Structure 1
Amino acid sequence: MNSYLNGFLFCIAFLLSGSLLSLSAQEYGGITGMIHVPTAEMAPEGEARIGVFFLNGEFLPDRIAYQGTKYNTTNHFLAITPFPWIELSYVCTLLKGEDNKGEVGYNMKDRHFAVKLRPLKEGKWWPAIAIGAQDPGRSVPDNGDYAYFQNFYLAASKHLAWKGHEWGVHLAYRYYRSDFNIKWRGIAGGITYRPSFAKNFRAIVEYTGNDINIGVDCLLWRHLFLQASLQDGRHFTGGACFKINLLGKKKTVRKEKDVY
């Protein structure tokens, strides 16, 4: 328990600097979510995002390893919300391996698309519902070697307000086709919290189906989004992205009367 508390305080210290403005949160692949677990939340219509994340080896699929040893890496992504009911993302993850000269380095890449659709918007008596997928078009060989991130999910999100504080409850079912990702196959979920005194700040606790992750995120100067998290309370993963609304729309903070 101490490791989770110390890690949570570390994440807060990492992000609480500069002027904070309103935000919408991103998961590591550019699609709106928590940390590793998807939600039914959506970014504002017209929002485009470009970002980079440091990914701890323990955060990644077990098949991403070099000579049997997992390693840390980075990814970068380009994402957009063309309509309020759909998000799209293109993700590139660096992989370690040998090049044609036998030199070891991050000289390989895994590229994939991600998509999320929200057929049901959140209402007073019901949650928002979304369906999504990472790398949906890739065929999976018998050993699943190259389908590192492929999964399909159904997510629900409901927000509640109490004295200006906002609580989000999120539940998801994910199906990873590759057996080496079986630890994340099934039920996942988490809780998010926005305090009344900083609506642009969010704390996260999530269960991936295998690990408990904690983290925080925020937006600086309207465009710079930061997220810091600890996988299982020990392994740091975090990143940043630049956000801009191509339609000129500004993100508005939900008032308590708008949260059910």
Structure 2
Amino acid sequence: MFPGARDADPDDPGSAADYVFVGAPLDVSTSFRPGTRFGPGELRKHAATFEDYHPETRTHFSDCSVADYGDVRAWNDATAYLDYLEGVLTDVHWNDATPLLVGGEHTVTVAAVRALDPDVFVALDAHLDLREDLDGDPLSHSTVTRHALDVADEAVVVGARAGNEHEWERATESDVTAVPPEDAADWSPDFAEDREVYLSVDIDAADPGFAPGTGTLEPFGLAPREMRDAVRAVAPQAVGFDVVEVNDHDDGQTATLAAKLLRAFVHHHADA
């Protein structure tokens, strides 16, 4: 169980909770280093040392009404898995709780966006993820932003520094904003107050020096403090949150950062 959370009702996720941690250990399309199936467990493990008290918001995580649903066991059929996961997240949403989805590969975000139907999709990500497919797979982790734009009106990718020529051309269109790492510290959301936002954190947005435990490393990335500040800024308008692409190929640095960002989201979302 995620430290500071309690068990969720498996038959009625989100009931009597404000936030629900849902593990989604899908690991079928990782194109370089697999291992994202271990992400939810790594976050639970490495959050164990965190203090309960959050000084910026003067709140305790254990008072934020977080429930842990456990992991939605993954299998190799990504289409069927996303349909099932979407149902779980829809139940959480219909209970007026905010899902905290923890991957697994970035593909799991597609289920959350479909379930929550946001106006704006914000991703902290090294990659634009605007491909039609990767090696013939239309549900590759490299297609997430494109799928999100089937639902959301616009997408913002903070920390973007990798993509093919077609993706960079697509990113020049009016519904996509790519914020390079050097501009991330000065970026802040300026969405209208009635716009609902979904926030996705692909941990490879971080520079590999801070987060080596991920599948597709991209140097010259974001610092943890820049990621934290972006999460804090977006949290008040967010209807859902995820952190994805954590694997077990380090000594816990990456999972610790991911768990801390999840905690920051909860504290600042609850405070708002």
Given the two structures, how large is their TM-score scaled by the length of structure 2?
0.28
Given the two structures, how large is their TM-score scaled by the length of structure 1?
0.29
| More helix as a share of residues | 2
| More strand as a share of residues | 1
